[in-house]
């Protein structure tokens, strides 16, 4: 009980700038509290009732003073705002070559999936020095995914994907918490994040994670199996047909709809088009796609697998970040020699 | 700071807390307007929720809204507009101290209000029969429209028109009470048109809400 | 001190005019209604406080002490619902506002006395439903009722609790309508807007917030009930709804709601500081307009509760910017109150000690709000004990301390009796110390990452040290809130008789008898002076002369 820290460890790329901003705010807080406190204490003492002091010509207003103590706090506040906004925009803008991890929150645990098929529950292994992007969704109520040591947190919402990213910077084991009240076991829905140096992480990933058994299929491969099983190929082949458009190279392209609107295809659109295809119909087509009722025929995991597969359709065979990381472990002798 | 002012005898009909009739009447009107602001915010939320979902599900809402009975909605619009007119005339008669005229107009307004409710209940019962009332009994035949979104449209429809209907019922109770008081020359309303004006404001507001509801729900363009 | 109070020799005071239960429960007198509110809000406060005690006890151990997780969730929900809907939103406006506003502006009652009584009955009806919900098992969604948990998943008394809050909302609305009409139209002749006590300005701004905001939460919660009852998907994604829409609608009211809780408190502080500095409030117009600015800007910042909820980062930037702006008028008030004491004659009576405590704690609490208004800092701190510490600093250290200041200041006016001043002063210091011990460690807990609404924290047992400090503080704080009940009640029968103006304050309420007569003023006064016509120099001269006299005597 006597081991009490006063700050969480700095274990991500955001942590030190965050702590600097936090430190500035703390300084301003203590400073202004002290200034007001001391001024008040001074006045209370000097002008205490019964104490002789010069009270003649009391001042009841002073425009210049009002302007000074309005404008200066406003400027200080705006300065802090700008710094916070800049860091936040960084936090909300993941780099393109991030390592993608998929997170599902549910009452009351976290399912984490790596692209090569490795799964973990209530744990998250991440490589140091590599940007990691979490794509998250809930299967039931709103949860929150929070890693204090990384200074990152975001809500995990049912019905839509939310994302956050970070680059781990320090090896260690750090708590992760759920931060939105989600029911009985809300405070037990936690776990640990393990930040590993890249070689160790690659080895972990290549050896099947905690199960010590290399997964048979990657997320994308599982998606391909599902794609075939659900007979998606009947309408979505390699070319556009009368029944359905081709999905090759779709990810990242712009799709136009019958109502005139358009969207750049991303994970959210793909998810919507699987479970609610009639909301936006691709131009040139009609309401013919079978609806995959959410949860009854495809789970969030399934949807993710399908999306990974669709993303790979028609794409050139450049190795993804995940594949690169995994391949690092294939030459263990070489990498340990470099250390 | 203060000085003794000459105490004036208060005119009849002025409540204890007021000094003059003018002050009392002005105060009641401000109170009524402040209350109507809250009513605007009440309905505003429903309109906002409706706007959000209509924007999200434009084509589905268009299809589903075809189930609404345009004729009955239109009749109700005419009824309410007319009742607003008769209510305004009732206020006028109150100002002129014409008790009979006032009672006639209040009666006409009540007829309109009842008529509105009758037409509304015909609409609602048709919806119940077609299983379009939200809940476990809800059914939507068209498979290209997700039933849950169709149900969402009807939830908003029933919430908005239902809340409006509750306000119509409250209006009926309040207008009837006013009519009874006027008929009996009750001191609360005798020689004072303000209660009628206040209730008139309320009734105009109820009408105004319907003027927004009707096009928003019943007249969605393709 | 003052000119003879206006008492009509034979008019009974409002406490004497009728002793039957009926005369109290069917009263139209704003003063009696204020007392009814005083009793009922105090009861709710202690019920909410018991829930807080249970929470603090549980958190002394990382694995909890004696409650199940479900019960724990219901405890903090009960604490939040009761304290917010049945105490903080109500206490200062409905107790002190009801009692004082007609007196301060020279009126015989509020604009609509029967509506005022209806307000109290609605409040009690709402409270009844909330208590019923508690007795029938409680609700476990948190006072924020986030969907879809509250609308589709929770098995607790969500509907009953919402009905209670819904009805209490009407109570709030009726009071606000009353205040707006009263302040607009019933000021005594000569009392222009800028001669009105700042207390009335703050209640006017509060009332505008209430009429604009409360209906929004009422309908939003009603939609949650509809969703629960009919299993439709207004806020539920599985059925096509949007849970974030709920959050927008909820916070559109609930952010301005915190200003409903703090603006009346600031009004109290203005009155107390002016009186116990024997000086006009510095920058009267700036303080008056800052109340209006807080009310207006307060409606534009709700999205700062949703920075990590999936709203776009551009929305976040706008809300963060305006959130920094809304802090400025509050800062302006603090500076003006501090400057008021310059060249004043400062009397450290118990109301003033509470008011000074308010200044310190509200500054700290308000500044910690800036961490949460900032986008990047909020990402880490939201959902943690940092937020809990922040809002307790402003709500308890701010609003409740101001309520205590007001109760102590106007107690002799309301009941004609003085309480034990020395005991009150020491108790104020106890409250201040207990409060800081309870909530200061929680800032650190939040920074370390301790989430709020957590029953267990065994993933991070190093948090225990701070939790124990906090629980120790809460014991002291609880003691500090219970003691006044005793000396205040004691004073009703055994306290020294207070005259019309025991504090030597300026204001129309101090020119009539204590307790006030039923109809307040024998004749409506005519106002010829600015508010707070204090003269510190003259006061000190009187004190000097007295000192000389006692010296000469000895």
- The Cα–Cα gap between A183 and C141 comes to 7
pLDDT of res. B1: 35
Whether the CB of C1 is below 8 Å from some CB of chain B: the reply is no
Rounded to 10°, the helix C464-494/C30-58 angle is: 150
Q: What is d(CA A241, CA A235) in angstroms, rounded to the nearest whole number?
A: 7
- Shared domain for A85 and A103, answered yes or no, is no
What are the boundaries of each domain within chain C?
26-553
More reliable by pLDDT, A179 or A327: A179
Per-residue pLDDT reduced to its tens digit, A190-225: 999 999 999 999 989 888 877 767 777 888 889 899
Mean pLDDT of A222-230: 89
Check CB contact of B148 with chain C, cutoff 8 Å: yes
Could you tell me if C226 and C232 are in contact, meaning their C-beta atoms sit under 8 angstroms apart? yes
pLDDT for residue B2: 34
Mean pLDDT on C185-193: 96
Question: How close, in Å, is residue C205 to chain B by CA atoms?
Answer: 13
Task: Determine the residue of chain A that is closest to B62 in CA distance.
Answer: A279
Query: Are the C-beta atoms of residues C28 and C113 closer than 8 Å to each other?
Result: yes
Residues of B in contact with A276 (CB under 8 A): 146
- Residue ranges making up the domain that contains A158: 99-211
Question: What percentage of chain C reaches a pLDDT higher than 90?
Answer: 93
SS3 C517: strand
CB within 8 Å: C376 and A91:
yes
3-state secondary structure of B44: helix
A83 within a domain of the structure (yes/no): yes
Say which CATH number the domain at A253 has: 1.10.760.10
Of B30, B38, B130, A88, the residue nearest C379 (C-alpha): A88
- Are both A108 and A202 inside the same structural domain? yes
- Residues C195-203, mean pLDDT to the nearest whole number: 97
Q: Could you tell me if residue A333 is inside a domain?
A: no
| Residue A328 lies inside a defined structural domain of this protein | no
Quick count: other Cβ atoms within 10 Å of Cβ C137?
14
- Give the end of a domain, one of A71, A93, A115: A93
| Cα dihedral: A133, A135, A138, A141 (round 10) | 60
Question: ipTM greater than 0.90, yes or no?
Answer: yes
Look at residue C508 in the predicted model and tell me its pLDDT.
Answer: 96
Cβ-based contacts of C525 with chain B (< 8 Å): 1-3, 5
A to C CB pairs, distance under 8 Å? 296
Nearest residue on chain C to A78, judged by CA atoms? C324
Lowest-confidence segment of A319-323, C37-41, C491-495 by average pLDDT: A319-323
Cβ contact C371–A25 (<8 Å): yes
DSSP H or E stretch at residue A156:
strand A152-156
Check if B156 contacts C (Cβ < 8 Å): yes
Dihedral (Cα; C426, C431, C436, C439), 10-degree rounding: 170
Q: Is C504 on the interface with B (CB under 8 A)?
A: no
**Record: contact C211-B48, CB cut-off 8 A:** no
Residue A335 lies inside a defined structural domain of this protein:
no
Asked if residue A275 belongs to a domain, the reply is yes
CB A65 within 8 A of CB C339: yes
Reply yes or no on whether the pLDDT at C5 is more than 60.
no
Please report, rounded to a whole number, the percentage of residues in chain A having pLDDT higher than 70: 93
Residue A276 tokens read as: 């609610």
Report which of C92, C246, C99 is spatially closest to residue C158, judged by C-alpha positions: C246
pLDDT at A334 over 60: no
DSSP letter, residue C10: T
Residue A178: pLDDT band (50, 70, 90) is very high
**Residues in chain B, pLDDT under 70:** 1-11
The model's pTM: 0.94
Residues of B in contact with A279 (CB under 8 A): 56-57, 59-60
Query: Mean of the pLDDT values across residues C532-538?
Result: 92
Assigned token pair, B118: 């009758």
Fold of the domain built from segment(s) C26-553: Cytochrome C Oxidase; Chain A (1.20.210)
Residue contact A279–B144, C-beta within 8 A? no
Q: Write down which chains contact chain A via at least 3 CB pairs under 8 A.
A: B, C
Picking from A84, A149, A184, the nearest residue to C374 by CB comes out as A84
Tell me the chain A residues in contact with residue B146 when contact means C-beta distances shorter than 8 Å. Answer: 276, 278, 291
Q: Which residues of A touch B (CB under 8 A)?
A: 259, 276, 278-279, 287, 291
* pLDDT average, residue stretch C519-545: 91
Q: Does C373 contact A87 at a Cβ distance shorter than 8 Å? A: no
pLDDT, tens digit (0-9, with 9 covering 90-100), for C411-470: 999 999 999 999 999 999 999 999 999 999 999 999 999 999 999 999 999 999 999 999
The answer, for C177 touching chain B at a CB cutoff of 8 Å, is yes
**Strand pairing of A172-178 and A262-264?**
unpaired
pLDDT for the residue numbered A209 = 79
For the ranges B77-86, B141-150, C156-165, C274-283, the lowest mean pLDDT is seen at: B141-150
Identify the bridge partners of residue C317 per DSSP, sorted by sequence position.
Answer: none
Per-residue pLDDT tens for C85-126?
999 999 999 999 999 999 999 999 999 999 999 999 999 999
Domain end point (choices A193, A211, A229): A211
Mutate to test the interface with A, among B55, B60, B146, B222 (most CBs of A within 10 A): B146
Percent residues over pLDDT 90 in chain B? 77
**Is residue A51 one of the residues assigned to a domain?**
no
CATH number at residue A148: 2.60.40.420
Structural domains in chain B plus CATH codes = 21-218 (1.20.120.80)
Residues of B whose CB is below 8 A from C523: 4-7
Interface mutation vs chain B, best among C166, C241, C504, most B CBs within 10 Å: C241
Is C526 close to B19, i.e. CB distance below 8 A? no
8 Å CB contact of C324 and A77: yes
Average predicted confidence (pLDDT) for chain C: 95
Tell whether B196 is within 8 A of chain C (Cβ): no
Specify the number of domains making up chain A: 3
Which residues in B lie closer than 8 A to residue C232 (C-beta atoms)?
A: 134-135, 151-152, 155
Do the domain assignments include residue A121?
yes
B5–C211: do the CB atoms touch at under 8 Å?
no
Q: Are the Cβ atoms of B57 and A279 closer than 8 angstroms? A: yes
Give the DSSP letter string of chain B.
Answer: ---PPPPPPPPTT--TT-SSHHHHHHHHHHHHHHHHHHHHHHHHHHHHHHHHHHHHTHHHHHHHHTTS-HHHHHHHHHHHHHHHHHHHHHHHHHHTT-HHHHHHHHHHHHHHHHHHHHHHHHHHHHHHHTT-SSSTT-----TTS-HHHHHHHHHHHHHHHHHHHHHHHHHHHHHHHHHHHHHTT-TTTTT--HHHHHHHHHHHHHHHHHHHHIIIII----
Q: Is the Cβ pair B38, C215 closer than 8 Å?
A: yes
> What pLDDT score does B4 carry?
33
Cβ of residue B17 closer than 8 Å to a chain C Cβ: yes
A17 and A86 fall within a common domain: yes
Distance of residue C236 Cα from the nearest chain A Cα, in angstroms: 8
Cis check: omega of the bond before B163, within 30 degrees of 0: no
pLDDT one-digit tens code per residue, C541-554: 988 888 889 888 76
CB atoms within 10 A of CB B128: 10
Q: How far is CA A148 from CA B132, C184, C442, in A?
A: 48, 51, 15
CA dist., res. C87 & res. B139, Å (int): 45
* pLDDT tens for each residue of C128-146: 999 999 999 999 999 999 9
Residues A227 and A174 in one domain: no
Residue A203 sits in the same domain as residue A132:
yes
Do the Cβ atoms of B155 and C226 come within 8 Å?
A: yes
Alpha helical stretches, state H, C59-157: 69-83, 98-105, 113-135
Q: Are residues A109 and A183 in the same domain?
A: yes
């Amino acid at each position: 009980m006597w081991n009490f820290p006063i700050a969480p460890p700095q274990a991500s790329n955001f942590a030190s700038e965050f702590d600097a901003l936090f430190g500035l705010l703390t300084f301003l807080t203590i400073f202004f509290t002290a200034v007001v406190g001391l001024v008040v204490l001074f006045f209370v003492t000097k002008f205490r009732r019964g104490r002789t002091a010069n009270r003649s010509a009391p001042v009841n207003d002073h425009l210049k003073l009002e302007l000074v103590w309005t404008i200066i706090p406003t400027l200080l506040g705006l300065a802090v705002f700008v710094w916070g906004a800049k860091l936040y925009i960084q936090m909300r803008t993941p780099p393109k070559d991030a390592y993608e991890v998929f997170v599902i929150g549910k009452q009351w645990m976290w399912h984490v999936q790596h692209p090569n098929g490795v799964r973990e529950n209530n744990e998250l292994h991440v490589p140091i020095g590599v940007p990691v992007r979490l794509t998250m969704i809930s299967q039931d109520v709103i949860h929150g995914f929070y890693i204090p040591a990384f200074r990152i947190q975001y809500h995990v919402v049912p019905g839509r994907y939310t994302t956050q990213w970070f680059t781990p910077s320090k090896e260690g084991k750090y708590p992760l918490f759920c931060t939105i009240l989600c029911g009985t076991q809300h405070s037990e829905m936690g776990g640990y994040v393990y930040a590993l140096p890249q070689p160790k992480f690659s080895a972990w990933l290549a050896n099947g994670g905690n199960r010590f058994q290399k997964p048979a299929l990657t997320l994308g491969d599982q998606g391909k199996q599902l794609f075939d099983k659900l007979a998606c190929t009947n309408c979505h082949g390699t070319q556009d047909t009368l029944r359905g458009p081709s999905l090759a190279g779709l990810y990242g392209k712009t799709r136009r709809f019958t109502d005139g609107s358009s969207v750049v295809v991303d994970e959210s659109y793909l998810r919507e088009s699987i479970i609610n295809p009639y909301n936006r119909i691709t131009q040139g087509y009609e309401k013919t796609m079978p609806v995959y009722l959410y949860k009854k025929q495809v789970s969030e995991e399934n949807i993710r697998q399908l999306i990974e597969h669709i993303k790979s359709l028609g794409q050139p065979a450049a190795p993804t970040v995940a594949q690169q990381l995994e391949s690092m472990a294939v030459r263990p002798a070489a990498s340990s020699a470099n250390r | 700071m203060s000085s003794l002012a000459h105490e004036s005898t208060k005119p009849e009909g002025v409540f204890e807390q007021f000094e003059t009739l003018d002050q009392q009447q002005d105060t009641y009107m401000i109170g009524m307007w402040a209350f109507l602001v809250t009513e605007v915010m009440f309905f505003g939320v429903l309109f906002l929720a409706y706007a959000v979902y209509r924007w999200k599900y434009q084509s589905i809402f268009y299809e589903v809204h075809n189930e609404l009975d345009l004729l009955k909605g239109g009749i109700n619009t005419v009824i309410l507009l007319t009742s607003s007119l008769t209510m305004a005339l009732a206020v006028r008669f109150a100002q002129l101290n014409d008790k009979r005229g006032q009672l006639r107009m209040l009666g006409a307004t009540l007829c309109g209000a009842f008529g509105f409710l009758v037409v509304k209940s015909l609409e609602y019962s048709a919806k119940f029969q077609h299983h379009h009332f939200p809940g476990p009994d809800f059914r939507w035949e068209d498979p290209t429209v997700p039933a849950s979104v169709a149900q969402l449209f009807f939830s908003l429809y029933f919430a908005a028109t239902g809340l409006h209907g509750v306000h119509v019922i409250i209006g009926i109770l309040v207008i009837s009470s006013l009519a009874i008081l006027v008929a009996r020359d009750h001191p609360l309303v005798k020689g004072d048109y303000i209660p009628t004006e206040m209730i008139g404001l309320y009734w105009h507001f109820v009408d105004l809400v319907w003027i927004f509801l009707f096009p928003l729900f019943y007249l969605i363009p393709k | 001190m003052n000119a003879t109070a206006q008492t009509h020799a034979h008019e009974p005071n409002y406490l004497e005019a009728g002793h039957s239960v009926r005369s109290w429960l069917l009263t139209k007198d704003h003063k009696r209604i204020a007392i009814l509110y005083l009793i009922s809000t105090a009861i709710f406060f202690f019920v909410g406080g018991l829930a807080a005690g249970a929470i603090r006890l549980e958190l002394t151990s990382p694995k909890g002490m004696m409650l199940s997780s479900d019960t724990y969730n219901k405890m903090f929900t009960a604490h939040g619902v009761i304290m917010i809907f049945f105490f903080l939103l109500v206490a200062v406006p409905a107790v002190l506002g009801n009692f004082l506003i007609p007196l301060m502006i020279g009126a015989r009652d509020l604009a609509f006395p029967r509506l005022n009584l209806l307000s109290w009955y609605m409040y009690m009806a709402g409270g009844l439903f909330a208590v019923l919900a508690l007795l029938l098992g409680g609700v476990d969604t948190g006072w924020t009722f986030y969907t879809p948990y509250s609308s589709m998943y929770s098995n607790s008394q969500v509907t009953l609790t919402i009905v209670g809050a819904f009805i209490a909302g009407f109570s709030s609305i009726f009071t606000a309508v009353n205040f707006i009409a009263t302040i607009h139209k019933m000021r005594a002749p000569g009392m222009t807007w800028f001669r009105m006590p700042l207390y009335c300005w703050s209640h006017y701004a509060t009332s505008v917030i209430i009429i604009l905001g409360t209906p929004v939460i009422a309908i939003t919660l009603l939609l949650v009930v509809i969703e629960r009852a009919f299993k439709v998907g207004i806020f539920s994604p599985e059925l096509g709804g949007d849970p974030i829409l709920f959050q927008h609608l909820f916070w559109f009211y609930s952010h301005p709601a915190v200003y409903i809780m703090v603006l009346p408190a600031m009004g109290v502080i203005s009155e107390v500081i002016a009186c116990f500095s024997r000086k006009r409030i510095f920058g009267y117009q700036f303080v008056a307009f800052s109340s209006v600015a807080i009310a207006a800007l307060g409606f534009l910042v709700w999205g700062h509760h949703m920075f990590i909820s999936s709203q776009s980062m551009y929305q976040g930037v706008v809300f963060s910017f305006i959130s920094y702006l809304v802090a400025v008028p509050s800062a302006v008030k603090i500076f003006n109150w501090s400057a008021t004491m310059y060249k004043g004659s400062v009397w450290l009576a118990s109301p003033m000690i509470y008011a000074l405590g308010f200044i310190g704690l509200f500054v700290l609490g308000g500044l910690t709000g800036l961490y949460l208004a900032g986008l990047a800092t909020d990402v880490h701190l939201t959902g943690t004990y940092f937020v809990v510490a922040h809002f307790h600093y402003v709500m308890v250290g701010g609003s409740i301390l101001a309520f205590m200041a007001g109760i102590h200041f106007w107690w002799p006016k309301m009941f004609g009796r003085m309480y034990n001043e020395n005991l009150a002063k020491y108790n104020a210091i106890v409250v201040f110390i207990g409060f800081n011990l309870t909530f200061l460690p929680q800032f650190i807990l939040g920074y370390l990452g301790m989430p709020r609404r957590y029953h267990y924290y065994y993933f991070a047992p190093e948090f225990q040290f701070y939790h124990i400090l906090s629980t120790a503080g809460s014991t002291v704080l609880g003691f500090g809130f219970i003691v006044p009940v005793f000396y205040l009640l004691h004073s009703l029968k055994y306290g020294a008789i207070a005259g019309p103006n025991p504090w030597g304050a300026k204001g129309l309420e101090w020119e009539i008898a204590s307790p006030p007569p039923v109809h307040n003023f024998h004749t409506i006064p005519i106002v010829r002076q600015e508010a707070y016509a204090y003269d510190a120099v003259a006061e000190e001269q009187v004190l000097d002369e007295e000192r000389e006299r006692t010296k000469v005597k000895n």
